[in-house]
Amino acid sequence: MNNNILPPKNKEYLTLAIETSCDETSAAVVRGGKVVLSNIISSQIEIHKEYGGVVPEIASRHHLENINIIIKEALDHAKVNFEGIDFIGVTSGPGLVGALLVGISTAKALSYALNIPLVGVHHIEGHICANYLQHPDLHPPFIGIVVSGGHTHIVDIYDDLSYHVLGRTRDDAVGEAFDKVARVLGLGYPGGPAIDLLSQSGDPYAIDFPRSYLEHNSLDFSFSGIKTAVLNHINSEKQKGNEIHQADVAASFQMAVVEVIVNKTIRAAEQTNRDTIAMAGGVAANSLLRKMLKDKCAEKGMKLYYPSLELCTDNAAMIGCAAYLNYMKGKIDYLDLDANPNLKL
């Protein structure tokens, strides 16, 4: 296998990228790590909705059914064939192990059959890179705030692919908290968009849910307390025979969570003397988070970047960008590349 060649610089490599870490089967063709020629995303949301969340076994089976079709679509849309692809990028973790394995096995088979290099990518690194695809003027150093269904990280990005993790969740990820509260309110899966929408007709200060800041100066997060607080509020209102004001609960929950994320992100930038923040991950689609962080950044004279809605949630284009940056730094994987559900950043 010819996949140990270090890359010459200045080449407009075509990357075929694959993402199957959770419930989106996605393939993309990206040129030079920046130009998205195609980004096909097949969401399994409708399938998992019935169960109120992602069922790992079902996710794996659907990735397996869809992956070849999605890859063909990505190539067709980009008007290239396999021979035009220079290397394969694939999410190797973190994520659901069975789901990751579908993407990784496909990527390994393609790398072997086409005799081209393989690059495993950290999913969170991919989310951060979604910003590079749309904001060519964004360069390190900056503070990355990654908020998704599986992760909540504040990261100091001091060079391409070089990070210090400044804070992370100690329990639930923020998207997980949105999804769990939505389930309690009977809003279905995924909960984030439903809470975002319902909150628009609610009073964000109707209920004083706890803001968990942890120890003085800590940049870590904790979202399990607010989830319990929402549950307690609903149970106690029911016991009193009161009607639940769903929109007020949603809006108050959202405000409590967003306030903490915004304040800690700004504090991280101040502590590290960074004047630029980039947000990423599914929860970066949240309208209140976007607005409050934008206002706060404007007040502090900081620049804020976030991807368009399609590139906030899971997609292969962001993996293509991250794979390119890794490859240009000489990172190459081999046929022993394995899924790592707990891969650390």
175 binds, among Zn ion, ligand KG4, none (CB under 5 to 8 A by kind): ligand KG4
Alpha carbon 94 to chain centroid distance?
11
Whether a cis peptide bond, with omega within 30° of 0, leads into 190 is: yes
In terms of CB distance, is 167 or 191 closer to ligand KG4?
191
**In whole angstroms, how close is the CB of 271 to ligand KG4 at the nearest point?**
26
Residue 249 C-beta: closest distance to Zn ion, Å: 26
Query: What are the residues binding ligand KG4 (CB under 6 A)?
Result: 22, 148-150, 175, 178-179, 190-193, 196, 281-283, 285-286, 313-314
Among 26, 92, 148, 212, binds Zn ion (CB under 5 A): 148
Q: How far is the CB of 123 from ligand KG4 (least distance, A)?
A: 6
In whole angstroms, the minimum distance from the beta carbon of 1 to ligand KG4 comes to 31
How many CA atoms does the CB half-sphere of 116 hold within 13 Å? Answer: 18
- Per-residue CA distances from 243 to 236, 237, 248, 256 (Å): 11, 7, 11, 22
Q: Which residue's CB is nearer to ligand KG4, number 3 or number 26?
A: 26
Give me 146's structure tokens.
């990654």
For residue 3, the partner it binds in Zn ion, ligand KG4, none, with Cβ less than 5 to 8 A by kind, is: none
**Nearer residue to ligand KG4 within complex by CB, 116 or 146:** 146
Residue in this structure with the two tokens 């990423």, named with its chain if needed:
280
Q: Which amino acid is at 40?
A: I
Confirm if 38 and 78 have CB atoms less than 8 A apart.
yes
CB of 83 to ligand KG4, least distance (A): 32
- Other C-beta atoms within 10 Å of 302: how many? 19
Min separation Cβ 281 and ligand KG4, Å: 4
Q: Which does 143 bind (CB under 5 to 8 A by kind): Zn ion, ligand KG4, none?
A: none
55 to 23, 49, 206: CA distances (angstroms): 9, 10, 34
Which listed option, ligand KG4, Zn ion, none, makes contact with residue 192 (CB within 5 to 8 Å by class)? Answer: ligand KG4
Q: Pattern 292-321, binding to Zn ion, x per CB under 5 A?
A: ----------------------x-------
**Minimum CB distance to ligand KG4 smaller for 116 or for 250:** 250
Return the number of other C-beta atoms located less than 10 Å from residue 244's C-beta.
Answer: 14
**Spatial CB neighbours of 84, under 8 Å, sequence gap ≥ 6:** 14
Q: Of 148 and 199, which has the nearer Cβ to Zn ion?
A: 148
DSSP 110-179: HHHHHT--EEEEEHHHHHHHHHHHH-TT--SSEEEEEE-SS-EEEEEEEETTEEEEEEEBSSS-HHHHHH
Give the shortest CB-214-to-Zn ion separation in angstroms.
24
Give residues in contact with Zn ion (CB under 5 A). 148, 314
